[in-house]
Chains A and B, each alone.
Chain A
Amino acid sequence: MIRLRDVSLKPAGVGQPVLHSMTLSIPQGEFRWLLGPSGAGKSSLLRLLTLGARPASGQMDILGTSVTGASRGALRNLRRRIGFVPQDYRLIGEWTVFDNVALPLRLRGRSERDIRQEVFSVLEWLDVAAHAHSRPTILSGGEQQRVAIARALIGRPDILLADEPTNALEESQARRLLSTFQELIDLGTTVIVATHNESLVREAPAQSIMLRDGTLDPQAIAP
């Protein structure tokens, strides 16, 4: 469950808020497209929802925890329940693909044996298992994107957020990813995908969150 009430986001050193008085509610296990032109605030909203920033004002609850007054420990635990596929992949270049993908499980204290099994399983599914021991910097954009997707999926998050997760994927891979999102939703995961890809939105009709100039366009919250 994600609930925002009158939330604004104002990054340090920026005069004007980048998100204004945003109010929305997404029940657990639902899918939303996050749409809007460049600069509308999609990345800022995702940053807020991945707990990369705290709201300047308003009330934000994620998975039953009030983010506004949460302790660092509570935020840390929430972050472990959120999977994120960033647009720039955000992989650690000095680590191997395996270590990058294994990180969420290691942070949860899982055994290396389980981690190895799960990491290879997800890497094989995404067709990047052959690169498990390579550094991500030598991979193509599409391969890096699949590694980032693997890292987001591996912890079976309660919330999955993705920023343009298909822009470096082939069409068949993009469709496969959408079906994976659907499987996660069936398992109770909330999925929010920011995209400019209109054909993808047409292919999987769902409610959308439309942003414009840092505010929510209420007319667009509909299939």
Chain B
Amino acid sequence: MSRRVSPGLRSGSLPLLVALMTLLAGLALAGLSGIQSLAEGWSQAARSAATIEIPTDIPNASDRTEALVHALKALDGVTNIQKLSTDKVQDLLAPWLGQPVGSHRGLPGLSLPEVLIVAHTRGIDLSATVHDALPEAIVQEDLQWGQRLERLGTSLTGCAWLAVILIAAIATLSIGITVRRSVAAQKRAVDIVHSLGAADLTISSHIAGRAALLSFLGGVAGLILLTPLTTSLATTLSPFAHQSALPAAFPTTLDGWWTTLGILPPSLLKELGALPFIAACLGWLTAQGVVLVWLRRLP
């Protein structure tokens, strides 16, 4: 026989409500994780690259360019040097110069520069080496772009966190309203228990315990609802993942599904796994607060 000391929580809608909130929070977290990864990747790539433009109408351009490439390769921290082909440069400049006519490259009277893309570790200064070897060359560090991308990434991450916080706030409000309604519906029973000498905490803990359980179940249901979406996200991300034996399409077996989920960042999986527990804590705390405030009305 259960040890009844207080009315519980009567709410069939609470698990459904929490399930939907968990689904939304999961989507926001997945978006957040994606944004963070992309922003980090872009920023990293941009911060560790430099573009060197070498005019071709200078004396001994070809030899001096080769000398510059050798000098750059000798530098500590330079990881790769890519010399763009004339066609590639033409393609890059096409929006400004137009498409080439016949075999002519660039504009009449204007030759296309040689372009070197230098990948390097962060913190290295290429300018001195470049100007020593080829003072006519122009060095464009992509650091600025990296900073801009980082700022963009930070603001998008902030938006995603704001969405998560808003969802948590709406969930708290909804749980609070549900608990409040349930307590009001059981006002008589609560009054009776209170009049017999039940402590406020006894009553509130009983109701909060039930709210936590229902919120946890709702959180688990929300995760189940979220699974097809996370699997789909993982399938979309699979071409970018550096893993062997990646599934090519939406998984149809449990093993395939498990492998696909493995593509997702471990931090995201941990956050998603924590959602039912967070929902339970939120449910418990909200119910405690609402019931304790409600009980203050009683003498």
Interface residues in chain A, defined as those with a beta carbon under 8 Å from any beta carbon in chain B: 50-54, 72-73, 75-80, 84, 90-92, 94-95, 98-99, 102-104, 106-107, 112, 151
Contacts and interface: CB of A to CB of B under 8 A. Distances in A.
A104 B202 CA distance: 13
A84 B195 contact: yes
B5 A106 contact: yes
B5 A103 contact: yes
A11 B193 CA distance: 21
A76 B3 CA distance: 20
A161 to B, nearest CB: 11
Nearest to B10: A94
Contacts of B193: 92, 103
28 contacts: A51-B299, A52-B195, A52-B299, A54-B299, A75-B299, A76-B198, A79-B196, A80-B196, A80-B197, A84-B195, A90-B188, A90-B191, A90-B192, A90-B195, A92-B189, A98-B1, A99-B4, A102-B4, A104-B197, A106-B3, A106-B4, A106-B5, A107-B5, A107-B196, A107-B198, A107-B202, A112-B1, A151-B196
B1 to A, nearest CB: 7
Contacts, number: 54
A103 B189 contact: no
Main secondary structure of the interface of A (DSSP, over half): helix
Contacts of A54: 299
Contact residue range for chain B? Answer: 10 to 19
Interface of B: 1, 3-5, 7, 188-189, 191-193, 195-200, 202, 299
B4 A103 contact: yes
Main secondary structure of the interface of B (DSSP, over half): loop
A79 B197 contact: yes
Q: Which of B7, B192, B197, B198 has the most CB of A within 10 A?
A: B197
Nearest to B186: A94
A47 to B, nearest CB: 10
B9 to A, nearest CB: 12
A207 B47 CA distance: 95
A55 to B, nearest CB: 10
B196 A104 contact: yes
B195 A50 contact: yes
What are the 7 A-B residue pairs with the smallest beta carbon separation, nearest first? Answer: A80-B197, A79-B197, A99-B4, A92-B189, A106-B5, A90-B192, A76-B197
